[in-house]
Structure 1
Amino acid sequence: MPEILFWSAPRVWDSYAELLPRALDEAGVAARVAPDLPPERADYVVYAPAKARLDLQSAPKVKAVLSLWAGIESVIDDVPPDVPLTRMVDDGLTEGMIEYVTGHVLRHHLGMDAHIVNPGREWRPDAPPLARQRKVAILGLGALGAACGQALAALNFDVAGWSRTPKRVAGVSCHHGTEGFAAALDGAGIVVLLLPATPATERVLDAAALARLAPGAAVINPGRGALVDDAALLAALDSGQVRHATLDAFRTEPLPPGDPYWAHPKVTVTPHIASETRAVTAARVIAENVRRAEAGEPLLHVVERGRGY
């Protein structure tokens, strides 16, 4: 019987304590899963470290490390290169991201802030353009970016997407490479960042990229803090090139109290909640990967070390 070490904060384990054993049973896997299993006995590690990291050298039997997070840049160095590392891709993450992105795109498209917070009690009868008249650029066309792009296209937004490699997404004008990056951003009224954090995507939204947006554009970052050149974004907010930024991911989290984003009147800070891993769906993904490994089948969502995701 395989043994699974669940390495996480106690509150995370509380969410999985019943759901993960049930999911394993439904997948036909007889396994023991526990948060206090000695590492040397672990065949698999479900990994969502809080402050304490696991020394995987102390787990010589481990067949795979199964991350509960979609982004793995903060844990990839913890896992020996000869041990498979998987990232979390599941329906709950996708649905949560679609809801966050669609909600904030509509908020900025409709100009809802002016009516929700209207201290001067001004009557402002200016109607927004139709969705088909608003270009939305999505940087990153992986599972989350593609799903968000299709949801926005279904609302009639003019959606342009960019990825490092060629992609085809129904309803989305897809671009790739250096020239494609410019084409995706040019004239966009809203840009959504959903790229992974890698050396190639560091500060991808810099001053030059921001200058390509339509004047008064909105920036939405539910991806990774490293994607944004913070100084360039603050300058664009101050100049009016960017009307508002809704930011869910930051280089340092929690965002320090003195960070300028907190006090900026054109910034909305959300506490990395755009797409939380939900135990009810993630448990099934973990169980399926354990089943696959025990059956000698390929694992789902294996991280490619050279690409960083």
Structure 2
Amino acid sequence: MTNVLFAAISPKWKEYESPLRDAFAKAGLDDIDLRKDFAPEEVDYIVYAPNSEIQDFTPFTRCKAVLNLWAGVESVVGNDTLTQPLCRMVDHGLTRGMIEWVTGHALRHHLDIDYFLNHQDGTWEHRVPPLARERPVTILGLGELGTACAKALTDLEFPVTGWSRSPHDIEGITCLHGADGLETALSGAQILILLLPLTAETEDLLDAERLALLPHGAVLLNPGRGPLIVDEALIAALDSGQVAHATLDVFRAEPLPVEHPFWAHPGVTVCPHIASATRAITAAEVIAENIKRGEAGQPFLYLVDRERGY
């Protein structure tokens, strides 16, 4: 019998129990015992959300892998007690959700939809947006989600530049890396999209100096990680018009405190971390595949590189 511990906040058990059991059956994993309450020394795999009560992995001496339910691992990857393999969540539903959010908001700003929504006053103003091919987009982060979004925007004929810390080669996308590449990527971004993981190297990446590299009046979309941006620098850039608008889905503190200036700023759209939620059905399929691989002695999918932090 393979013992799988579900370690997430209580409401998630009702959401995930049936999809997980169905995914295990579909994968041919007939000897799975899925529970919320194993003794630590009996656990073979942990299906894990970083906000669960389990923060000390030392007692889980038999555990073969910790399978994260979230795409982000920054709040667990530095846990010194976690010596087992850690796998991040990459699943089709999560990817599709991010593509839809990014393309939807990119088109919203590209077509100036907010302007028309806010000017329903009888004025007939013939404002024609440029074609997508005339609106350069930059995506910071060319991992699974960044690459998928870059390809979707390219399909809409936006000229897309992607930047990452290491070299990439993606057909149809101008790929840059390193410090010089970042400056070039920012300087051409009429729409800037942040899809980087949060690491020591990416925290506070968008400070006042880098925001100043953007074309005047650029638009910023952040469905990645809140601490990628220095909040005070962004507000100053919005006040000066350097950044025309920021649509933000992630923040340093969540829920975003009611007193935070983002709520009241006319140049900010606050979204409640909905860009790419983990969907139980598709996430369960990824977890089942990784357990199947672990039981067969095959490499795990989406294994986290502890040194890189993702």
Specify the TM-score bucket, using the shorter chain as the normaliser: over 0.9
Amino acid paired to 1:91: H
CA distance in 1, matches of 2:187, 2:66: 41
What's the counterpart of residue 9 of structure 1?
Answer: 9
SS in 2 for 1:298: coil
CA distance in 1, matches of 2:157, 2:208: 29
Shift of 1:62: 1.1
SS in 2 for 1:56: coil
CA distance in 2, matches of 1:41, 1:240: 58
Moved more, 76-85 or 224-233: 76-85
Q: Is the 8 A contact 2:141 2:195 kept in 1?
A: yes
Unaligned runs of 5+ in 1: none
What's the counterpart of residue 261 of structure 2?
Answer: 260
Shift of 1:115: 1.0
1:173-212 to structure 2, matched below 5 A, reads 173-212=174-213
Change in CA separation of 1:38 and 1:121 when aligned onto 2, cut-off 3 Å: farther
Q: Is the 8 A contact 2:50 2:75 kept in 1?
A: no
Amino acid paired to 2:19: L
Unaligned runs of 5+ in 2: none
Shift of 1:52: 2.7
CA distance in 1, matches of 2:127, 2:97: 31
Moved more, 209-218 or 142-151: 209-218
Q: Is the 8 A contact 1:247 1:268 kept in 2?
A: yes
Q: Is the 8 A contact 1:65 1:79 kept in 2?
A: no
What's the counterpart of residue 282 of structure 1?
Answer: 283
CA distance in 1, matches of 2:259, 2:53: 26
TM-score (norm 1): 0.97
What's the counterpart of residue 19 of structure 1?
Answer: 19
What's the counterpart of residue 53 of structure 1?
Answer: 54
CA distance in 2, matches of 1:302, 1:81: 14
1:142-181 to structure 2, matched below 5 A, reads 142-181=143-182
SS in 1 for 2:172: coil
1:57-136 to structure 2, matched below 5 A, reads 57-78=58-79, 80-118=81-119, 120-136=121-137
Shift of 1:38: 2.8
Shift of 1:267: 0.3
What's the counterpart of residue 243 of structure 2?
Answer: 242
CA distance in 2, matches of 1:122, 1:239: 27
Q: Deviations over 1:212-270 (max 9, x none)?
A: 21211100000001110111110000000111000001111111111111111110010
Q: Is the 8 A contact 1:7 1:54 kept in 2?
A: no
TM-score (norm 2): 0.96
Shift of 1:55: 2.5
Q: Deviations over 1:160-219 (max 9, x none)?
A: 110001101222111011111111111311100000000000111111221121211100
Shift of 1:89: 0.6
CA distance in 2, matches of 1:162, 1:83: 31
Shift of 1:119: 5.7
CA distance in 1, matches of 2:184, 2:68: 35
SS in 1 for 2:139: strand
Shift of 1:117: 2.2
Amino acid paired to 1:4: V
